[in-house]
Structure 1
């Protein structure tokens, strides 16, 4: 359950974009360290449970809550600092071809109307 909760948190965070842009360097290092410790604790809990040492297994599972809370705090802090922005990459230019065609058509229409009246 703990690993699935952590995966869901990271999946939601992944939708925010590149973690290196979202997190600072220190936060990224702390997140990686916390994730590694969480994986270690869950592995130890599974190993202890397979050896029928359920008290030790429960200890590792309960201590993994601390890592989950820290990971959640890091991710929610990073998500709270995000701002939505809209950037225009290319400035809008007038459509030169369309303008040239319209001016040409207007000049042609004026020429046709003048030649008719003369």
Structure 2
């Protein structure tokens, strides 16, 4: 084997973050429901900076009852979007696998 050869699993692992990001962008471009969820999440973050502080910061945060409900809304949207992403990636993996099997002629009858 060549010194330049990198096993497929290692290559996929190294490129996973970029592939994951590309698939999420693809989902946003092709699924209006997903794009709307992401837009609503963004709309909640802008007027309520405590959401970003909670997600990105550290330290103590105190929420009013209204802020708590807004945060619950945000997380409901987040989990719906996350489920859509996971489903898209799952089926995309199947599609890629099937394409690869066709490419290597795994279905070729002799």
Pairwise same-fold verdict (TM > 0.5) = no
Give the TM-score normalised by structure 2. Answer: 0.43
TM-score (norm 1): 0.41
